[in-house]
């Protein structure tokens, strides 16, 4: 009997905890209801209204501004682009003069850091390191919340298969599995230990949905796709973000199969709120309610407001359609009061959870803001993830890492001394950026030893067409033992409204590489960019290539550590890199088609181009190391599994080089025959392993029938018995394979 006491006590504590949780939850719901009861219709609609602040904009401004008095009248629920304790406090004080004193929510695009700028999200995705990605979001939240911000419009979880689309820089690339893992890591990072903690900000999964599939990669463009593809490729990261507790979703600018996402109740009501049971709220994208008019879906703002509210868009960002029209729409019975109440409930609930009703100024602590302004630990973490994000694409004759001493190194290119271009799009222009951002030049000067001479020539600018600096660059190269060229895209060449039809290196940078290569000196090229670029000539001329994306505040230190071998690169591409624009879209998880090609000579097959390889320049998952890894064959614990059973696949990875290194071991599966055709490979798992020279490790993957599910033609998420191939390897092309069956 005695033995049972601890168990009973344990059960009792669990029940008690459950009850407390329940009681607390109930209390918030009750509180929401009691506020709701006191609200007039206008005040309710005010909560659904979000304005841009007077200090900056991230979209086209609507001209009407008696903003401050509207806050006092309770006609504004949230503001965006208001940063800093002073400003947020000022506006919150106005909200406290409103009749019901409902606090404002301050939202902001904290996309890859606030004060400390982290690598762009696509770069971080290349780390395949969920802990590091979560840490980066955590730090961003810590800094942003200290500056009065409650809510970030991140993570952007749009799957993107088209590098012409500027917003690829903001997401996690082309793969739904990796994208889902990263979505979860970022939500966890932003929301930290949970609302109620003053360093937690609300996450916002965006843009719901399928924004990344804009036709031709042109921003804001239409999307037309099968529901099966939507569910299988584009929705999983959103579903994962919702399951991880993301407080909010943002809908998207695009129309999906003819219906603008903002007015799309299939997306917002049926899938998100009903099927996934999402308890947070949905904000429109900037002006997207009103944009349903040019879409040709709403006649005017009145109709747009009705369509959006009924479709489940709870808050209107900047279009002013709700504040101007919803009251009338309710009076005319076009929008039921229950729709308004539901939206307001969702919004108030988050304000309660964030503790803003208890203390509307709880994020307005100047002391805390100051402390977070120059946080060295954050810069250190930035450097760490920047290094993890770099991808080594080529390293002929092990030209990298370079010696630290006794040589002359020529640093050539417009990125060598670049500062803010390292920050990339969606980053802040803090006045002291020129001091904080570390350029490659500064990084190298700090680390090169005394016996090393560093030469510099810019060669050309990022964009213009002048080659007047080439001569100086060639001269510098001629004097050097080794040449490092740092080139790429300027910080505003990829991002929102930054789609490009030509994704070659801009300006005359490729010409510069050619001119310098003609000296015969070994060239190492670093490419900083916000998307996969096309750089075939560079790839041919360079002995080594490091893809450095936009690495953030400590970019130059990260690059230097990698060049000197203080960090062994470990990044893997989260997107396939096309050979040229005409190959887009190119992605690894395509279908086999009825005419699959065996190789590039098999010209009649798999819709190949006659003038291009079938394969991308660099496949998804690709990335080299300064060391080399060998893979054994795959061992399976059984040849077939039944639902409920686990297949264990193992493989031994050995470091056969001479340096410690980290490998990301990738698991892919192919379902050979299905009731709908299945991709040639789908990422289903990965593991990172660090090995010393000569060291081996057996890596295990556990696979169950659940990993084999897909959306069938009835949109049911099912597995089907049959034959499967399992692949394990270093990237999506270079893999070992084994066969197994799923039986009933
Ligand atoms: C429009 C962008 O699409 C969205 O991602 C962003 O959060 C808003 N503008 C606010 O800046």
Q: Which two structure tokens, joined as six digits, stand for 400?
A: 């990298």
Q: Is the CB of 365 inside a 6 Å radius of any atom of ligand 1? A: no
Q: Rounded distance, CA 705 to CA 719, Å?
A: 7
345: left (phi over 0), alpha (psi -120 to 50) or beta: alpha
Residue nearest to atom 7 of ligand 1 (CA): 153
Please tell me the predicted confidence (pLDDT) of residue 69: 93
Domain ranges (residues) in the chain: 374-583, 629-742
Indicate the top mutation candidate among 317, 318, 425 to test ligand 1's pocket, ranked by most ligand atoms within 8 A of CB.
Answer: 317
Give the residue, by CA position, lying nearest to ligand 1 atom 8.
Answer: 286
Provide the terminal-to-terminal Cα distance of the chain, rounded to the nearest Å: 44
State which of 286, 291, 318, 425 you would mutate to test the pocket of ligand 1, scoring each by most atoms of that ligand within 8 A of its C-beta.
286
Of 158, 162, 219, 285, catalytic: 285
Which atom belonging to ligand 1 lies closest to the Cα atom of 59? 9
Distance from the CA of 318 to the center of ligand 1, in angstroms? 11
Q: Whose CA is nearest to atom 9 of ligand 1?
A: 286
pLDDT reported for residue 395: 98
**pLDDT attached to residue 529:** 98
Can you identify the CATH homologous superfamily of domain 629-742?
Answer: Immunoglobulins (2.60.40.10)
pTM summary value: 0.96
Compute, in angstroms, the gap from residue 185 CA to the centroid of ligand 1.
21
- Environment class of residue 725 by beta-carbon count within 10 Å: exposed (0-12), middle (13-18) or buried (19+)? middle
Encoded tokens for 422: 């390292």
Q: How remote is the CA of residue 680 from the centroid of ligand 1, in Å?
A: 35
- Nearest atom, ligand 1, residue 253 CA: 3
Ligand 1 proximity of 109 Cβ (cutoff 6 Å):
yes
**What is the best residue among 51, 62, 109, 212 to mutate for testing ligand 1's pocket, by most ligand atoms within 8 Å of CB?**
109
Distance separating alpha carbons of residues 487 and 39, to the nearest angstrom: 57
Residues 6+ apart with CB under 8 A from 569: 387, 390, 391, 392, 546, 562, 623, 624, 625, 626
- Classified as helix, coil or strand, 281 is strand
- What is the per-residue pLDDT for 1? 41
Tell me how far the alpha carbon of residue 439 lies from the centroid of ligand 1, in angstroms.
Answer: 29
Using 70 as the pLDDT threshold, list the residues of the chain that sit under it: 1-25, 62-65, 603-607
CA of 154 to the centre of ligand 1 (A): 9
Instruction: Point out which residues pair with 485 in neighbouring strands.
Output: 412, 525
Residue that the structure tokens 């081996």 belong to? 696
The CA distance from 505 to 696, in Å, is 40
Ligand 1: does its nearest atom lie under 6 Å from the Cβ of 206? yes
Whether 350 is in the pocket of ligand 1, judged by its Cβ within 6 Å, is no
Class of CATH domain 374-583: alpha beta
697, with CB counted inside 10 A (0-12, 13-18, 19+), is middle
pLDDT at 606: 59
**285 is a catalytic site residue:** yes
């Amino acid at each position: 009997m005695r033995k049972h006491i601890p168990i009973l006590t344990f059960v009792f504590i669990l029940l008690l905890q459950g009850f407390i949780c329940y009681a607390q939850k109930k209390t918030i719901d009750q509180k929401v209801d009691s506020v709701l009861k006191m609200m007039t219709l206008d005040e309710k609609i005010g909560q659904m209204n979000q304005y841009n602040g007077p200090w900056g904009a991230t979209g086209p401004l609507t001209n009407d501004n008696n903003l401050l008095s509207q806050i006092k009248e309770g006609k504004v629920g949230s503001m965006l682009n208001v940063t800093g304790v002073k400003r947020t406090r000022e506006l919150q004080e106005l909200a406290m003069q409103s009749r019901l004193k409902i606090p404002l929510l301050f939202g902001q695009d904290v996309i890859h850091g606030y004060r400390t700028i982290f690598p762009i999200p696509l770069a971080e995705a290349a780390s395949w390191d969920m802990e590091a990605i979560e840490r980066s979001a955590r730090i961003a939240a810590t800094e942003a919340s200290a500056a009065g911000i409650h809510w970030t419009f991140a993570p952007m979880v749009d799957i993107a298969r088209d590098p012409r689309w500027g917003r690829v820089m903001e997401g996690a690339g082309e793969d739904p599995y990796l994208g889902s893992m990263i979505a979860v890591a970022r939500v966890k990072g932003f929301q930290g230990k949970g609302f109620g903690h003053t360093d937690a900000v609300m996450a916002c999964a965006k843009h719901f949905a399928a924004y990344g599939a804009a036709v031709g990669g042109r921003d804001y463009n239409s999307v037309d796709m099968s529901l099966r593809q939507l569910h299988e490729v584009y929705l999983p990261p959103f579903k994962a973000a919702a399951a991880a507790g993301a407080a909010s979703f943002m809908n998207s600018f695009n129309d999906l199969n003819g219906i603008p996402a903002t007015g799309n109740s299939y997306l917002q009501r049926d899938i998100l709120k009903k099927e996934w049971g999402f308890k947070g709220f949905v904000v429109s994208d900037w002006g997207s309610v009103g944009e349903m008019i040019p879409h040709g879906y709403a006649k005017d703002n009145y109709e747009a407001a009705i369509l959006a509210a009924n479709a489940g868009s709870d808050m209107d960002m900047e279009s002013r359609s709700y504040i101007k029209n919803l009251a009338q729409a309710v009076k005319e019975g076009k929008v039921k009061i229950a729709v308004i109440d539901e939206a307001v409930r969702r919004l108030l609930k988050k304000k309660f959870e964030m503790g803003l009703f208890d203390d509307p100024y709880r994020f307005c602590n100047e002391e805390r803001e100051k402390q977070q302004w120059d946080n060295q630990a954050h810069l250190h973490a930035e450097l760490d993830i920047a290094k993890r994000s770099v991808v080594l694409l080529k390293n002929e004759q092990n030209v990298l890492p370079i010696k630290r001493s006794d040589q002359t190194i020529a640093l050539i290119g417009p990125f060598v001394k670049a500062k803010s271009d390292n920050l990339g799009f969606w980053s802040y222009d803090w006045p002291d950026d020129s001091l904080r951002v570390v350029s490659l030049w500064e990084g190298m000067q700090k680390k090169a030893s005394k016996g090393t001479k560093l030469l510099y020539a810019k060669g050309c600018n990022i964009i213009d067409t002048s080659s007047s600096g080439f001569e100086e660059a060639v001269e510098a190269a001629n004097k050097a033992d080794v040449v490092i060229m740092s080139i790429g895209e300027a910080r505003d060449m990829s991002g929102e409204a930054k789609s490009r039809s030509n994704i070659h290196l801009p300006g005359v940078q490729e010409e510069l590489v050619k001119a310098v290569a003609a000296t015969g000196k070994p060239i190492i090229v670093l490419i900083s960019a916000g998307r996969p670029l096309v750089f075939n000539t560079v790839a041919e001329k360079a002995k080594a290539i490091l893809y450095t994306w936009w690495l953030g505040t400590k970019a130059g230190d990260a690059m230097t550590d990698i060049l000197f071998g203080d960090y062994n690169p470990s990044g893997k591409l989260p997107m396939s890199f096309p050979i040229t624009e005409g190959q887009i879209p190119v992605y690894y998880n395509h279908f086999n088609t009825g005419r699959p090609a065996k190789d590039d000579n098999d010209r009649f097959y798999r819709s190949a181009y006659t003038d291009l390889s079938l394969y991308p320049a660099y496949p998804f998952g690709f990335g080299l190391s300064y060391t080399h890894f060998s893979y054994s064959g795959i061992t399976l614990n059984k040849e077939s599994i039944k639902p409920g059973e686990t297949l264990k696949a193992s493989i031994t990875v050995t470091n056969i080089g001479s340096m410690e290194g980290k490998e990301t071991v990738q698991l892919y599966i192919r379902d050979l025959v299905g009731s709908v055709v299945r991709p040639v490979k789908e990422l289903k798992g990965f593991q990172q392993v660090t090995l010393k020279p000569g060291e081996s490790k057996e890596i295990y993957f556990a696979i169950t029938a659940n990993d084999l599910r897909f959306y069938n033609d009835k949109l049911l998420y099912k597995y089907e018995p049959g034959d499967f191939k399992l692949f394990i390897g270093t990237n999506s092309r270079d893999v070992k394979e084994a066969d197994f069956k799923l039986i009933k």
